[in-house]
Structure 1
Amino acid sequence: MPLFTDHADVSVRPAVPGDETPIARVQLAAWRDEHADVLGADVLDLLDEQAVVDQWASAISAAPTGHRVLVACDGATVVGFTAIAPVPAPDDAAPGGVILALEVLPQAQRGGHGSRLLAAAVDLLREQGADQVHTWVLDGDDARAQFLRGAGLGPDETTRELASGTQPDGSHRVVTEHRWWGAI
Structure 2
Amino acid sequence: MADATVRTAQPDDVAEIARIHRDTWRTAYRDIVPAEVLEAIDVDRTASAWAEAVGHGQVFVAAEGTWTVGFCVAGSAPEEEVARADGSLPEDAATTALLSVLVEPRWARRGHGGRLLATAASHLREAGATRGVAWVPEADKASIGFYGKADWEADGTVRTLDAGGRPLREIRVTGGLSLLLEP
Scaled by the length of structure 1, the TM-score of the pair is: 0.84
Q: CA deviation at 1:108?
A: 0.6
Aligned-pair Cα RMSD in Å: 1.8
- The amino acid that maps onto 2:117 is L
2:176 to 163, 169, 183: 183
Give distance in 1, aligned partners of 2:90 and 2:45: 38
Task: State percent identity of aligned pairs.
Answer: 36
How far residue 91 of structure 1 moved from its aligned partner, in angstroms, is 9.0
| Distance in 2 between residues matched to 1:156 and 1:106, nearest whole Å | 26
Does residue 174 of structure 1 match 2:167?
A: yes
Question: 1:92 deviation in Å?
Answer: 6.9
Equivalent residues of 2:76, 2:95 under 8 A apart: yes
CA contact (8 A) 1:69 1:83 kept: yes
Determine if the alignment matches structure 1 residue 76 to structure 2 residue 75. Answer: no
Does residue 29 in structure 1 map to residue 23 in structure 2? yes
What whole-Å deviation, never above 9, does each CA across 1:45-64 have from its counterpart, x for those lacking one?
11212111222122212x3x
User: What is the Cα deviation at residue 43 of structure 1?
Assistant: 1.0
User: Does the 8 Å contact 1:96/1:125 carry over to 2?
Assistant: no
- Provide the rounded CA distance (Å) in 1 between the counterparts of 2:119 and 2:172: 20
Q: Is 1:17 the equivalent of 2:11?
A: yes
Residue number in structure 2 paired with 1:39 = 33
How far 1:156 sits from its partner (Å)? 0.5
- The letter of the residue matching 2:29 is H
- Match of 1:97, as an amino acid? A
Which ranges of structure 1 fall in alignment gaps of 5 or more residues? 1-6, 166-171
Letter in structure 1 aligned against 2:96? G
Aligned residues: 167
Instruction: State whether residues 29 and 106 of structure 1, in contact with CA within 8 Å, keep that contact through their aligned partners in structure 2.
Output: no
Structure 1 stretches of 4+ with a deviation exceeding 3 A read: 87-94
Please name the residue that 2:109 is paired with.
Answer: 110
Secondary structure at the aligned position of 1:160 is classed as strand
- In the TM superposition, residue 87 of structure 1 has moved relative to its aligned partner by 3.2
Report the Cα distance in structure 2 between the residues aligned to 1:136 and 1:15, rounded to whole angstroms.
Answer: 22
- Between the aligned partners of 2:40 and 2:54, the Cα distance in structure 1 is 24
Change (3 A) 1:138 1:122: same
- 1:112-151 matched pairs, under 5 angstroms: 112-151=111-150
Structure number with bigger Rg? 1
- Which stretch of structure 1 is more off in the superposition, 149-158 or 73-82? 73-82
Please say if residues 15 and 60 of structure 1, whose CA atoms lie closer than 8 Å, have aligned partners that are also in contact: yes
1:97 aligns to 2:97 (yes or no)? yes
Q: Aligned-pair distance for 1:110? A: 0.7
Equivalent of residue 77 in structure 2, options 76, 87, 96: 87
Uncovered stretches (5+) of structure 2, i.e. residues with no partner: 80-88, 178-183
CA distance in 2, matches of 1:91, 1:54: 32
State the 1:183 CA deviation: 2.4
Secondary structure of 1:158's counterpart equals: strand
Q: Secondary structure at the match of 2:12?
A: coil
Instruction: Give the TM-score taking structure 2 as reference length.
Output: 0.85
